[in-house]
Structure 1
Amino acid sequence: MATVSRVLNRSGPVSEGMMRRVRKAASDLGYHRIERTLPPGRRRPVIGVLIPSITNPVFAASLSGIQNRMRVSGHGVLIAQSDYDPAREADAVDYLLTEKPTGLILTVCDPLKSQSTLPAFLPPTVLLNNLPTSRFPAAVTTDNRLAGHEITMHLIEHGHRQILFVSGRFESSDRARLRYEGYCDAMAASSLPVLNALQIPFVTGYDELDLGQAMRTHRPTAIIASNDLLALGVISALRREGLNVPDDVSVTGFDGIAIGRLVHPPLTTIEMADASMGATAASLLLDIAENSATPRHLRIGHKLNAGGTVRRINQAS
């Protein structure tokens, strides 16, 4: 009884194997724990979701997928954001835990670092957009390193040789770092110069982006931005330098957000299945929490959308 209580109330240490056995028994028996300390009006279970930014269309799409899936299962969704700040993640998760969620879906800055800084006792947890770790083996991701390689090869195949990578800070996003590593792979394999990434803050850097020094130093014919919002910021910064996209400089991004298709010319980007990834993470979490399924890593595909922001240049250029 004490072990069952620790598992269902998340009140103490229990081995992973015993935790799965208890949850499976509860599921087989149709047992549902009654929360006697819930605030008035709370009538359904909830899950907690941590994202870096609620205003980023990528995470908004993921949240939509999560909420739609949880609505079917009768769960509510609590949301916290870290503002791309690793130091805020633990406090945000603590806030979610006060509502005794069935489980958590987390997008963290760096999962290898976060697994040692988050609270010791957590309900079933699924990482979204982060690669799995020893502590968090359940994850839903896309292959960001491969995506970075593909978009770089797309530019190389269009004749570009001097390619700059502009990114949010790597300590704030392992996704950006993996995309840069894919860029490095492609450039090195093609015997082309690998430039250090120009890193800026995710939250405040886009509107203030100044590419003047980078353009004078590296003279790139193409720029890869680590996400579509930043790619739009890059295009604006190039225009302030008197440069045209794609006639003077080609620009690409990642994510495939709707606004990138509405600008002229449409943005060349790697499209991610953000809503589908959110729904998949929600289904995986419920399977683990309610059916004692084994945590697993699910990878969702991506595709290249060739817009109008990349031009072909002569090899001699």
Structure 2
Amino acid sequence: MTDLKEVAQLAGVSRATAARAFASPEVVRPATREQVFAAARELGFRPNRLGRQLRLQVTKLIGVVVPNLLNPVFAEQFQAMERAARLRGYNLLLATTDYSSERESAVVEELLRQRVDGLVLTVTDAESNRVLQSLDSEDTPFVLAYHQPRNPDYSAVSVDNRAGMALATRYLLEAGHWRIGMVAGPALQSDRARLRYAGYCDAMREAGLDSVPVIEMPAHTQADFAAIEPLLQGPQALSALVCSNDLLAISLIAELRRNGWQVPRQLSVIGFDGIALGTQMHPTLCSVVQPIEALACTVIDQLLAQIAGAPAVSHCLPCHIRPGESTQPYEETLDDPLA
């Protein structure tokens, strides 16, 4: 007896898309829907009966994919989304990818096998991602969290990463710093980090200053003093650093202090995310704050609207600087006897 999996394979779509074509045909693209129905006819499948059954089998589950939970920004996001989803009668299933595109494909497939109604995704690179291309072609509801994709068919909720890092760089420029560098993970590991580096370059160019090539660290959230040490010596030594995320900034401050450098007396440091942990350390972390609670609620509402048949839309939420003790004016750095 033919089953849904065989229909999906013949139609060249996922099982979840085939199921939606029968259960809620109005939310599936006409061309995709016709592929599924044609495959069903060829295999002698009975779509109407299956559709009635599937309408009674809504899982009320949302799949959530994040790089990891070691970075508190994703843990805070998940907790806020869980509260928002629960209020709307949904539960979340979580998977992590450790910034691996291969793992992204595997965990998304596994979540679809769990019959999730839709997906919230934070991926390595939203611009050239086969998983997203496949989900889009199959009409699987999904929303990207923290990304700013150029593809208008992708639904996303983010802050303006480029403008946010330009804001952080200008904050240092206004404090009198002009030798400023940016620290990020290996090869600007995420599309968000690349946009943030572009924002840093924008602000430096506006000030008539040369930007420094990105200072690459061994991991997205792990600093290495050896990578920064050469840039702290000589007449062109950096006086301030912007970091691609808060956890990297916290790790960098620890590495600097471990090697005898004072923050902010000798070097000012700014992070990006606004995680709560930054306010509980010493010195407190100056950071670009992403509105994580608002982002999480917007993501859930947007995904549920898509599940109900609404088109993909994107939102860009405002961010702001949270002042902290990890920065000080450049004049104070010059006057400090430890500098």
Greater shift, 221-230 or 192-201, is seen at 192-201
- Following superposition, the deviation at residue 55 of structure 1 comes to 2.3
1:227-246 matched pairs, under 5 angstroms: 227-246=245-264
TM-aligned CA distance change 1:67 to 1:116, over 3 Å: closer
* Structure-2 change in CA distance of 1:50 and 1:299 (3 Å): same
> What pairs up with 1:43-54 in 2 under 5 angstroms?
44-54=59-69
Give distance in 1, aligned partners of 2:266 and 2:106.
46
Aligned residues: 298
Give the fraction of aligned pairs with identical amino acids, expressed as a percent.
31
How far apart are 1:100 and its partner, in Å? 1.3
Letter aligned with residue 57 of structure 1 = P
Question: Which of residues 19, 23, 31 is equivalent to 2:28?
Answer: 19
SS of match in other structure, 1:175: helix
1:132 positional shift = 2.9
Show CA shifts across 1:164-211 (max 9, x none): 1111235531111111110000001111121001122435733x4433
Aligned to 1:97, the other structure's residue is in SS state: helix
Correspondent of 2:171 among 146, 151, 154: 154
Q: State the one-letter code of the partner of 2:272.
A: F
Structure 1: 5+ residue runs without aligned partners? 23-29, 36-42
| Match status 1:75 vs 2:64 | no
Judge conservation of contact 2:85–2:92 (CA < 8 Å) in 1.
Answer: yes
TM-score, normalised to structure 2, is 0.79
> What amino acid does structure 2 have at the position aligned with 1:34?
L
- The correspondence of residues 14-163 of structure 1 with structure 2, limited to 5 A, is 19=28, 33-35=55-57, 44-115=59-130, 119=134, 121=138, 123-134=140-151, 136-163=153-180
- 2:197 pairs, out of 177, 180, 187, with 180
Whole-Å separation in 1 of the counterparts to 2:213 and 2:247: 21
Alignment correspondent of 2:3: none
Q: Give the letter aligned to residue 114 of structure 1.
A: N
Between Structure 1 and Structure 2, the one with more helix by share is 2
Q: Which whole-Å deviations, capped at 9, do the CAs of 1:282-307 have from their partners, x for residues lacking one?
A: 110001112x1121111111111111
The CA deviation at 1:17 is 7.9
Root-mean-square deviation over aligned CA pairs: 3.1
User: Distance in 2 between the 1:95 and 1:8 partners?
Assistant: 12
Aligned residue in 2 for 1:10: 17
TM-score by length of 1: 0.84
- Segments of structure 2 that go 5 or more residues without pairing to the other structure are 1-6, 34-51, 335-339
> Which residue is 1:283 aligned to?
301
- Say whether the 8 Å CA contact 1:46–1:101 is kept in structure 2: yes
Structure 2 matches for 1:227-306, cutoff 5 A?
227-290=245-308, 292-306=309-323
Check 1:204–1:246 CA distance in 2 against 1; reply closer, same or farther (3 A cut).
Answer: closer
For the residues of structure 2 that align with 1:204 and 1:303, how far apart are their CA atoms? Answer: 21
* Cα distance change of structure 1 residues 85 and 135 upon mapping to structure 2, 3 Å threshold: farther
1:194–1:133 distance in 2 versus 1, CA, 3 Å: closer
Highest Rg: 1 or 2? 2
Cα 1:190–1:153, aligned 2, differ >3 Å: closer, same or farther?
Answer: same
2:42 aligns with none
Which digits, 9 at most, give the CA deviation of each residue in 1:217-253, with x for residues without a partner? 7510001111111111111121233210111111111
In 2, Cα distance between equivalents of 1:255 and 1:96: 27
The 3 A distance-change label for structure 1 pair 20 and 68 is: farther
Deviation of 1:19 after TM superposition, in Å, equals 1.9
Cα gap change, 1:307/1:31 in structure 2, threshold over 3 Å: closer, same or farther? farther
**Amino acid paired to 1:289:** I
- CA spacing shift, 1:9–1:195, aligned 2, 3 Å: closer
C-alpha distance in 2 between matches for 1:266 and 1:148: 19
Is the partner of 1:111 in helix, strand or coil? Answer: coil
In the alignment, what sits opposite 2:45?
none
CA distance in 2, matches of 1:111, 1:234: 27
Task: Identify the match of residue 206 of structure 2 among 189, 196, 206.
Answer: 189
CA distance in 1, matches of 2:73, 2:254: 21
Contact 2:184–2:217 under 8 Å retained in 1: yes
Indicate the SS of the match to 2:55: coil
1:26 is matched with: none
Higher relative contact order (CA 8 A, sep 6+): 1
Contact 1:267 1:307 in 2 (8 A): yes
Give the match's secondary structure for 1:11.
helix
- In structure 2, the CA distance between the partners of 1:315 and 1:187, relative to structure 1 (3 Å rule), is farther
Question: 3-state SS of the aligned residue for 1:169?
Answer: coil
Distance 1:55 1:243 in 2: 26
Judge conservation of contact 1:57–1:257 (CA < 8 Å) in 2.
Answer: yes
Q: In the alignment, what sits opposite 1:39?
A: none
Compute the displacement of 1:130 (Å).
0.8
Alpha-carbon distance, 1:118 to partner = 5.7
Whole-angstrom CA distance in 2 between matches of 1:32 and 1:59: 32
